[in-house]
Amino acid sequence: MDSELLARRWDAEYRLGRYTEDPPLLFVAEIFATLRRDPVARDGIGLYVGCGNGRNYLPLVDCGLHLYGLDLSLESLRQLGQRRPGTALPLICGEFGGFHSACQFHYLVALQVFQHGTEGDVARYFDHASELLRTGGLFFLRVNSISTQIYHEHTVIERSALGGITVRYDAGPKTGLPVHFYSRSEVLELTRERFQSVTGPREDIIPRSSPKTGFWVQWEGVWRRR
């Protein structure tokens, strides 16, 4: 995946107001509730992959979590900082695949991030997530489902043996970029060896706002690092 191209596209999207007025996902409440039941994780250090301009990251930080934010879009991090002026938020500009840490994290949050790239790219995301998490650490995931009715023009460039697909968008803000849509079997296989399921995976179905049509579907789930 071309991370520089992806960064430029997201910079442009954030300049156009992406997520500026959007409320946090309902899944954010589940993340905090799960952490509240696990004091070791809750009081530890977390990593939010793809924190963007903070619509889901800031509600978690505001609950008192010690949560690093990682994003490859410098514009998104600039906007995030403006939403909490005078606060020294632990933010890192960089690409997840190239991110390394001297210590392992107590939990990792990845919402609508592990879908960017090809089948090979997304498999490496799961491997890297397990490397960054300590044993017993929590993994919060939300990714594209194959049930999504894809709206923009696209070309299917991969079909996985487990039922997922990768598309290259031919129109829209992700034009030219590969994006993966997971089957349930894929999610289970990618988490089977290194993670134990806590909840899910389950599908969250979101109808598109007019004039767009159809619906967008995401897998959500929580796992614990073995």
Residue length, the chain? 226
For 135-149, what is each residue's pLDDT tens digit? Answer: 999 999 999 999 999
Which CATH code for domain 3-143+183-211+218-225? Answer: 3.40.50.150
- pTM, two decimals, is 0.96
Beta strand pairing call for 66-71 and 105-111? unpaired
Range with the lowest mean pLDDT among 46-55, 62-71, 206-215?
Answer: 206-215
Q: What is the reported pLDDT for 2?
A: 79
The domain segmentation of the chain, as residue ranges, is 3-143+183-211+218-225
Q: Tell me what pLDDT residue 21 has.
A: 86
pLDDT digits (tens, 9 = 90+) for 155-167: 999 999 999 999 9
Task: Give the model confidence (pLDDT) of 2-42 as tens digits.
Answer: 788 889 989 999 999 888 889 999 999 999 999 999 999 99
Closest of 183, 220, 180 to residue 203, by C-alpha:
220
How far is the CA of 10 from the CAs of 17, 20, 139, 219, in angstroms? 11, 13, 24, 22
pLDDT band at 1 (very low <50, low <70, confident <90, very high): low
Contacts from 32-35 at CB under 8 Å and sequence distance 24+?
32/59, 32/60, 32/63, 32/65, 34/138, 34/140, 34/198, 34/199, 34/222, 35/65, 35/107, 35/138
